[in-house]
Amino acid sequence: MENMQNQAIRVEGLRKSYKQLHVLRGVDFEVAKGSVFALLGSNGSGKTTIVKILTTLLKHDSGNVTVNGFDVALKPDGVRQSISLTGQFAAVDEILTGRENLILIARLRHLRNARQVADDLIKRFGLTDAADRRASTYSGGMRRRLDIAMSLVGNSQLVFLDEPTTGLDPEARIEVWKIVKELASSGITVFLTTQYLEEAEQLADQIAILDKGTIIVSGTLAELKKLFPPAKVEYIEKQPTLEEIFLAIVGKNQEN
Amino acid sequence: METTQSYFFMDMSVMLGRSMRHVFRSMDTIITVTLMPIAMMLLFVYVLGGAIQTGTDNYVNYLLPGIMLIAIANSIGYTSYRLFLDMERGIFERFHSMPISRSAALWGHVLTSLVSNVISVAVIILVALVMGFRSTAGGLSWLAVAGILALFTLALTWIAAIAGLSAKSVDGAVAVAYPIHFLPLISSAFVPTASMPGPVRAFAENQPVTSIVETIRSLLSNQPVGNEIWVALAWCVGIILVAYFFAKRVYQKRV
Ligand SMILES: Nc1ncnc2c1ncn2[C@@H]1O[C@H](COP(=O)(O)OP(=O)(O)OP(=O)(O)O)[C@@H](O)[C@H]1O
Ligand SMILES: [Mg+2]
C-alpha cells in the first residue's frame, strides 16, 4: 500500500497487438513519483503505443496499468484529470497564434485566468516575440516549445513527452532538455521516450529499454552501467585525419 | 464522469470559437461559401436571367432558394477538411487526453458548420434584397425555411464528417464535396425541371435538393407547400440519421 502511494505509474504484464503484429508482449515497469523516467527504444519498438495506453488514447489487450492510482481501463477520466501529454508530433493549431493556442487549452481545462496562464507560459518558454504570430510560421524548435507549454497548462503532476527532441537541431534539443530538468526540479513526474541513450543519460533517474515487446533492462544509469562490460584501456593506432595533415603542413610553412 | 459531462456545452463553445477562427482566417473558405454563390446569383440574374423562362416575374425570387443551398453545399468540403486535419495533426489526441468529453471536439465542428452557414446565408439574403428579392412570407414561414436549411446543413455536415474522419489523405477528405456540389446544379434551382430532357428530369425531380428548393420557394412566396415539404423533411432527417450513425461509428473506432 505504501509502495502504491509513491508510484506514479505501474505497469504489469501489459500486452497489445495490432491484428497479427504483437507489439507489446508483457511489459512491466514502475515509475516513482517525482522522478524522470526514460523509455528507450528503436523505431517501431512500441514506445508510442505504451504512451497512448498510459494516456487513455488506446485500449490495451491485457495486463494491469495504473496511472496516479487510477486504472486506465476502468477510470480513464481520473487518469485524464491528472496527466498531460505532449505527443510525438507537435499538436499545435497552426491557424491560431501561440497565445491563442495556450488560451484554448487553458479554457478547456476550465481555468479562470486563462490569459494570465498563457502570458506566464509565453514568458517562461521564450515565446514573447512570436506569441501573436500564427503557429504555422514557427520553427521546429519553437513549435515544440509551444507544444510542451500547452501540455503544462493546468499544472499536471505527471507529464508524458513522446520523443520530445526527435527532429530538433542541437540547440533546440538543449532547450528542451533544460525544460525537462526544470520540470524535474519542481517535483513533476516526467515520462519520456527517446531513441538516444545520451538523452536518457542527461535527463533520467530511471531508464528502461524496450526491445521486441518487453523491457530488457531497467534501472538507474549507474545500475545499467554495471550491466555493461567494464571499461578497459585499449591501444588503437590512429591514422591522421586530412585536417590534421593540412594543419601540420600549414603550421610548418608558417614557422618558416 | 460528472465533471466532463457538466462542462460539455462550455467545452463545445470553446471548440466552436476555435474553428470559427479557422473559417474567418481562411479567405478561400469565405470566397467559396459566400462570394461565389453571390457571384452566381449576379451572373444568373443579370447575364443569363433574361433568357431563362421560369414563369415568375422576379427571377431573384426564383433563384434565391437554390443559391442558399449551393452556399451550404460549398461549405461541406471545408468541414471534412478541418476534421481531417485535426485527426491527422494529433489535435484530437491532445483533446482526448484531456478531461473533456470525447464528443465535444466532434460536435464543435458540427456546430461550426451550422453557425458559419447561418452567417453566409444571411449575407446572401441581404445581397438578394438589394438585387430586388421580395417576400411576403410571415414569421412562421421564415422559421420553417430556417429549420429546413438547418436540417439540410446537418445532413451534409454528417456526411462530411464520415469523409473527414475516415479519409487517408486531404484529397480523400474533400472529395466528398464534388458530387454534393452537383446536386443543386441538376435540380430546379435555376430552371424548372419541366424544361429538362427525360433522364435528367427524372434525376432532378427525385433528388433531395429539388424538393428542398421547391419547399423553400413556396414558403417564401406564400404558396401552399403541399407534399413537397414532407419529401424534403424525409430526405433531410433520413440522411441525418444514417450519416450520424456511421460518423459516430468511425469516430469511436478512430479515437
Ligand atoms: N494503428 C496501428 N495499426 C497497426 N500497426 C500499428 C499501429 N500503430 C503502430 N503500429 C505498429 O506498431 C509498432 C510499434 O509502433 P509505435 O508507434 O508504438 O513505435 P515507436 O517505438 O513509437 O516508434 P517510433 O520511434 O518510430 O516513434 C510499429 O511496427 C508500428 O508500425
Ligand atoms: Mg513513436
Inter-chain contact A108–B1, Cβ cutoff 8 Å? no
Q: Is the pLDDT of residue B111 over 50?
A: yes
Which of A77, A94, A147, A163 best probes binding to B when mutated, by most B CB atoms within 10 angstroms? A77
Cell of A188: 513533476
Residue type, A247: L
Which of B94, B101, B103, B253 best probes binding to A when mutated, by most A CB atoms within 10 angstroms? B94
Average pLDDT of span B57-85: 91
Q: Which residue, by CA, sits nearest to atom 16 of ligand 1?
A: A46
Domain holding B169, by residue range, is 4-254
Q: Is the pLDDT of residue B5 over 70?
A: no
Q: Please give the Cα distance from A187 to A71 (Å, whole number).
A: 23
- Which chain B residues contact residue A152 at CB under 8 A? none
pLDDT of residue A148: 93
pLDDT of residue A166: 87
* pLDDT tens-digit readout, B143-201: 999 999 999 999 999 999 999 999 999 988 888 888 888 888 888 888 888 888 888 88
Find, in chain B, the residue whose alpha carbon is nearest to that of A148: B94
Residue type, A94: E
Inter-chain contact A94–B89, Cβ cutoff 8 Å? yes
Average pLDDT of span B204-210: 88
CA of A48 to the centre of ligand 1 (A): 7
Residue count of chain B, please give it. 255
Task: For Cα atoms A172, A176, A181, give the angle at the middle one, nearest 5 degrees.
Answer: 145
CA of A44 to the centre of ligand 2 (A): 7
Whether B6 has its CB under 8 Å from any CB of chain A: the answer is no
Whether B102 has its CB under 8 Å from any CB of chain A: the answer is no
CA of A212 to the centre of ligand 1 (A): 12
Inter-chain contact B93–A85, Cβ cutoff 8 Å? yes
What backbone phi and psi angles, to 5 degrees, belong to B135? -135, 140
Find, in chain A, the residue whose alpha carbon is nearest to that of B91: A91
Task: For Cα atoms A168, A58, B18, give the angle at the middle one, nearest 5 degrees.
Answer: 65
Residues linked to residue A190 through DSSP beta bridges, in sequence order: A36, A159
Find, in chain A, the residue whose alpha carbon is nearest to that of B90: A91
pLDDT of residue B2: 47
pLDDT of residue A231: 67
pLDDT of residue A2: 44
pLDDT of residue A249: 73
Inter-chain contact B14–A105, Cβ cutoff 8 Å? no
Residues linked to residue A161 through DSSP beta bridges, in sequence order: A86, A192
State if residue A176 touches ligand 1 by the CB under 6 angstroms criterion: no
Cell 508483457 sits at which residue? A26
User: What sign has the CA pseudo-torsion B156, B186, B217, B44?
Assistant: positive
Q: Which residue positions in chain A have pLDDT lower than 70?
A: 1-5, 228-231, 242-243, 246, 251-256
Query: Do residues A4 and A69 make contact, with C-beta atoms less than 8 angstroms apart?
Result: yes
Q: Which CATH class is domain A2-91+156-175+185-255?
A: alpha beta
Average pLDDT in chain B = 89
- Interhelix angle B59-88/B177-185, rounded to 10 degrees, is 180
Inter-chain contact A89–B4, Cβ cutoff 8 Å? no
* pLDDT tens-digit readout, B222-237: 888 888 899 999 999 9
Tally the domains of chain B.
1
Query: Among residues A35, A60, A140, A31, which one has the least CA distance to residue A94?
Result: A140
Considering only residues 123 to 162 of chain B, which have any Cβ-Cβ distance to chain A shorter than 8 Å? none
Q: Which residue, by CA, sits nearest to atom 24 of ligand 1?
A: A43
Question: Confidence class of residue B3 from pLDDT cuts 50, 70 and 90?
Answer: low
Burial class (CB in 10 A: 0-12, 13-18, 19+), B217: buried
| CA distances to A125, A175, A179, A186 from A182, in Å | 11, 11, 5, 6
Find, in chain B, the residue whose alpha carbon is nearest to that of A156: B98
Inter-chain contact A96–B21, Cβ cutoff 8 Å? yes
Question: Confidence class of residue B243 from pLDDT cuts 50, 70 and 90?
Answer: very high
Which of A59, A92, A93 best probes binding to B when mutated, by most B CB atoms within 10 angstroms? A93
Question: Confidence class of residue B84 from pLDDT cuts 50, 70 and 90?
Answer: very high
Inter-chain contact A109–B98, Cβ cutoff 8 Å? yes
**Helix ranges (DSSP H) in chain B:** 2-6, 8-24, 27-30, 36-42, 59-88, 91-96, 102-130, 139-166, 170-175, 177-185, 198-205, 208-220, 228-254
- Ligand 1 atom at minimal distance to the Cα of residue A49: 18
Residues linked to residue A62 through DSSP beta bridges, in sequence order: A15
Q: Which residue has the higher pLDDT, B124 or B2?
A: B124
- Which chain B residues contact residue A133 at CB under 8 A? none
State if residue A43 touches ligand 1 by the CB under 6 angstroms criterion: yes
Inter-chain contact B97–A83, Cβ cutoff 8 Å? yes
